[in-house]
Amino acid sequence: TRETVEEILEAYPAKVAKKRSKHVIIRNPEEIDQEIAANERTTPGIITQRGCAYAGCKGVVVGPFGDCIHIVHGPIGCSYYAWMTRRNQYKTREDGRNWLNYSFSTDLQEEDIVFGGINKLKTAVREAYNIFDPKPKSITIHATCPVGLIGDDIQGAAKELTEELGLPVVAFNCEGYKGVSQSAGHHIANNGFFKHWIGTDTETEEIEGFTVNLMGEYNIGGDAWEIERVLEKCGIKTVATFSGDGTYDAATKAHLAKVNLVMCHRSINYMATMMETKYGVPWIKVNFIGIHAFAKSIRKVARFFDNPELTARVEEVLTEEIALAEAQLAEYRKRLEGKTVFLFVGGSRAHHYQELFADLGMKTIVAGYEFAHRDDYEGRQALPKIRVDADSRNIEELEVEPDPERYNPTRPPEVLEQLREEKVIGDYEGMMPDMGEDTLLVDNISHHELDVLIKRFKPDLIGSGIKDKYIIEKFGIPCKQLHSYDYGGPFAGFRGAVNFAKDVDLRVNGQAWKYIKAPWQK
Ligand code: CFM
Ligand code: HCA
């Protein structure tokens, strides 16, 4: 492993090598508080898989709300290349609202860049509003790079249009360059939702039952539906989902849920923390990917509510679901046991999927996030040690205080204290503790680094995305896309695990791979 790291770094100029060496870490469980550098600028010239702030805001966090219209203010390319690529699913409700398949854009032209695009934006918002009946529940505006450069006042326009049209028009200054990756866009989206959507239902006073919000779950390939199926079976009610299959009305009531279940810590931790401060809603870090991860997570939820009936029901459901899934997984496990995996995905799946691979008997030997922060690797205890650099300072930190009327913790303070101590609420331990000795962590991996790792370790499968899928497969190694799921899914929960096993088996044990010669090997 040490030699591999050396080979990786050798190819770089000294300054770059020094920088990258902090992002490529050999896991050593003996070392307390092992560190890794993350959430830093990519060195120009290096090919990475990262996206931009606009992708993180519009594409990831805001876009999945299907009963709203999301308008991109920018040149058409920003819209076109993000159109329907992320597979966040939405089912049309009785009211018929569903704009998920649309691509709304102001299509900025050179003339608008010179003379300003704000009138064009206002016209676009009015037009989108007028065309449809029923009307969207909310209209969101997303700025891409040139809009920030020319200084169009999209916040002012949103305010004006909110009054004019009588529905919330929310503008996001998520210009692509706002951060070092899509991660900046998550934060901007969280802020916008928190300011303009959350808690705006002031009429509903209480929602009965074991209520939760599913946060940082985007319903890729139908994941959220499988999670909700099991939650429902246990008697746990989902109030709102951020954002997969999410609706505006549910989001405005989210503050009434008793606890927030945080799937993707990276993309939604901001909102979880702000909701806790303002409304007293605690959060539990969960992972519903993998059958044992699911069991562990839902037991935390049962522990939180501490209700004997609920606990009994959860155990009953787990016994039934695990038995069924295990029986179906057994056949695949026989063929997959001992196989090795690399995982390079976004800001949470490179961790989450390790648990599902473990269910299949497969070992993750190299893993890394594209854009997660140190807390997603090292755990939240790293937070105080993270240096806030100029790039992070760029993004607004909202000042949040307890709501004088609506701050309403659902458990007594001493119980919350106990739950915090047990790490049931308010904690995420990150990816590192789950990685074995001598495994490798590579943050924001480059194509060069991937090449070296493939040649050295020849894994049986790589879980990654569209930007490197075909490079990997030219090496004769199957790649499973863990963003789009290669158009399959769901992979969450119990039924999802079985779907996943089947897909993985087809790839890992497919005979075609050994006949592949890369163009450069011929
Ligand atoms: Fe969270 Fe996501 Fe991910 Fe993410 Fe993404 Fe995604 Fe991802 Mo692609 S919110 S960090 S910005 S889990 S779009 S649904 S798959 S990179 S690991
Ligand atoms: C994004 C979206 C993406 C890209 C997927 C990929 C997704 O980063 O803007 O690189 O394969 O999940 O759709 O992460």
Residue nearest to atom 8 of ligand 1 (CA): 483
Concerning whether 187 is annotated as a catalytic residue, the answer is no
Closest to 86 (Cα-Cα) out of 492, 495, 481, 493:
481
Determine what percent of the chain is predicted with pLDDT higher than 70. 100
Asked if residue 182 has its Cβ within 6 Å of ligand 2, the reply is yes
- ∠ CA 116-192-150, rounded to 5°: 15
Ligand nearest to the CA of 343: 1
Phi first, then psi, for residue 69 (nearest 5°) are -105, 125
The pLDDT score that the predictor gives to residue 514 is 84
For residues 139-163, give the mean pLDDT. 98
Tell me: pLDDT of 518 over 90.
no
Tell me whether the omega of the peptide bond preceding residue 459 falls within 30 degrees of 0, making it cis.
no
Q: Is the pLDDT of residue 180 over 80?
A: yes
pLDDT digits (tens, 9 = 90+) for 453-471: 999 999 999 999 999 999 9
Q: Report the residue count for the chain.
A: 522
Pairing status of strand 236-243 against strand 210-217: parallel
User: Does residue 522 register a pLDDT over 80?
Assistant: no
**52 catalytically annotated:** yes
88-146, pLDDT tens digit by residue?
A: 999 999 999 999 999 999 999 999 999 999 999 999 999 999 999 999 999 999 999 99
For residue 404, with 0-12 CB atoms within 10 Å meaning exposed, 13-18 middle and 19 or more buried, which class applies?
Answer: exposed
Confidence of residue 256 (pLDDT cuts 50, 70, 90): very high
- Per the DSSP assignment, residues forming a β-bridge with 215 are 242, 262
Provide the pLDDT for residue 385: 97
Distance between alpha carbon 164 and the CA centroid of its chain, in Å? 34
Cβ proximity of 339 and 364 under 8 Å: no
Whether 92 contacts 98, CB under 8 Å: yes
* Cα(74) to centroid(ligand 2), Å: 20
Given the structure tokens 């039934």, which residue do they identify?
A: 320
Rounded to the nearest 10 degrees, the angle between the axes of helix 466-474 and helix 447-457 is 40
Pocket test for ligand 2, best of 54, 72, 86 (most atoms within 8 A of CB): 86
Q: Which residues of 65-95 are buried (b: 16+ CB within 10 A; e: fewer)?
A: bbbbbbbbbbbeebbeebeeebbbbbeeeee
Please report which ligand is nearest the Cα atom of 54.
2
Q: Which of 374, 477, 424 is nearest to 34 (CA)?
A: 374
- CA dist 291 → 269, 319, 335, 337, 488 (Å): 24, 11, 18, 16, 18
Give me the catalytic one of 38, 52, 295, 325: 52
Place domain 2-48+432-521 in its CATH homologous superfamily: Nitrogenase molybdenum iron protein domain (3.40.50.1980)
CA of 51 to the centre of ligand 2 (A): 7
What is d(CA 293, CA 263) in angstroms, rounded to the nearest whole number? 11
Tell the residue nearest (CA) to atom 9 of ligand 2: 55
Q: Which residue's alpha carbon is at the smallest distance from atom 12 of ligand 2?
A: 483
Q: Mean pLDDT for the chain? A: 97
- Residue 151 structure tokens: 């200084």
Spatial contact of 174 and 188, defined as CB atoms under 8 Å apart = yes
CA 486 to centroid of ligand 1, rounded, Å: 14
Confidence of residue 242 (pLDDT cuts 50, 70, 90): very high
Could you give the 3-state DSSP secondary structure of residue 60?
A: helix
Give me the residues paired with residue 142 across strands.
Answer: 72, 172
Q: What percent of the chain has pLDDT over 90?
A: 97
Q: Which CATH architecture has domain 53-178?
A: 3-Layer(aba) Sandwich (3.40)
Can you tell me the distance from the alpha carbon of 155 to that of 172, in angstroms, rounded to the nearest whole number? 8
Distance (Å) from CA 186 to ligand 2 centroid: 13
* DSSP class per residue in 316-348: HHHHHHHHHHHHHHHHHHHHHTT-EEEEE-TTT
Q: Which two tokens stand for residue 324?
A: 């069924």
Q: Which residue has the tokens 């946060």?
A: 215
SS3 26: strand
Q: How far apart are CA 249 and CA 66, in angstroms?
A: 11
Domain with CATH 3.40.50.1980 in the chain: 2-48+432-521, 53-178
- Helix or strand run (H / E) with residue 285: strand 283-285
Q: How far is residue 188 from each of residues 142, 210, 398, 443, 484, measured CA to CA in Å?
A: 10, 30, 10, 23, 23
